[in-house]
Each structure stands twice: as C-alpha cells, then as structure tokens.
Amino acid sequence: MQKTKTIMPGTKHRIDSNASIYGIILLLILICQVSPVIAAEVEFSLDSDQTTSSSGYIKLEWRSEIDTEEFELQQSTNKDFSDAKLIYFGPDKASFISGLENGVYYYRVRAQNGDWSETLQVTVEHQSMKLAYTLFALGFVVFALTTFVVIRGAQSTGKVKL
C-alpha cells in the first residue's frame, strides 16, 4: 500500500509501507554476508616426514581461519586421548616439543571452545647406541689422523722437533 506524505512543504513523496521491512531484511542479509559466523576449524600443517622423529623433538604447526583466538594443544599416548595432557594454551600457531622418549604420541589442537582437529600421530624412534658409538669412534679416528698429519707436516719442515 502506498501513501503520499509531505516531507518538505510543497513536495509530496510516495512511501511504500513494506519498504522499511525490505530495508531491514536487506540489511540483515548484508550483515550476515560481511561477517559470517565462523566455525573455527583448525588443522595441522606438517610435512609428511615430520610424523617420525629420531631425535625426540618435533615442531607442530597448525592453521586457522581466525588470528585472534587462543589454541589448546593436547598430547596423549592413547589414540582415544584417555590420558590427554594440555601441553600448550595460547595464541601461537606452533609449538616445539622436546624430550620425547621412544613411543607413539597423538596430538590434537582446537581453537578455544571449538572442535578438535584431526588427530596427528607422531612416532619417536631414537638412534641406537651402537650407531652413536660407531659415529663417535669414527670421529675420533678422523681427529687422530688429522692431528698426525699436522704434526708430521710440521716436523718435515723442520719447525717442530719432538
């Protein structure tokens, strides 16, 4: 239904009574499109070679659509997180974890009060002591040979007498 209303003396304007309702609906639609409700989905961003560690440390990184949130990172030795430990809470999108013993660890992260990410499995297998001793012995042999060559070279020039 249209009515005529005088807004300024000497002028007449037609006003649609449904226009204000349409305007409110249009405004609500625009608000919803400009600032949608964001389901803060968080996911780990790892290279495939980072799911195993031979040194007992790992850097976990994750990404989220929202920058101003705080995140919770949990670690567990069970896939069902029955023994979950909160190992990080804060705004950073990465965490460095060290001191891990041999075993399988599970990690999940979420934006505060959001849904948990998919579970990330990390396997820690330290180098064997046999390999460590072998590399130590090899290093000692290289050091001894280098020392011998330097002393022999100095003796041959006559600058050093032993």
Q: pLDDT value at position 38?
A: 42
Q: pLDDT value at position 101?
A: 93
Cβ neighbourhood burial of 50 (10 Å; 0-12, 13-18, 19+): middle
Q: Fold for domain 42-124? A: Immunoglobulin-like (2.60.40)
Q: pLDDT value at position 7?
A: 53
Model confidence at 73, pLDDT cuts 50, 70, 90, reads very high
Q: pLDDT value at position 80?
A: 93
Q: pLDDT value at position 47?
A: 52
Overall average pLDDT of the 128-154 stretch: 91
Overall average pLDDT of the 149-154 stretch: 88
Q: pLDDT value at position 37?
A: 39
Q: pLDDT value at position 155?
A: 82
Cβ neighbourhood burial of 144 (10 Å; 0-12, 13-18, 19+): exposed
Domain ranges of the chain: 2-34, 42-124, 128-162
Q: pLDDT value at position 54?
A: 84
pLDDT in tens, 14-68: 555 555 666 666 555 655 554 343 445 778 876 545 688 888 888 999 888 776 6
Q: pLDDT value at position 34?
A: 42
Both tokens assigned to 61: 């990184």
pTM: 0.58
Both tokens assigned to 93: 């999108």
pLDDT in tens, 79-122: 999 999 999 999 888 999 999 999 999 999 988 878 898 999 99
Tell me the C-alpha distance between 162 and 140, whole Å.
23
SS3 145: helix
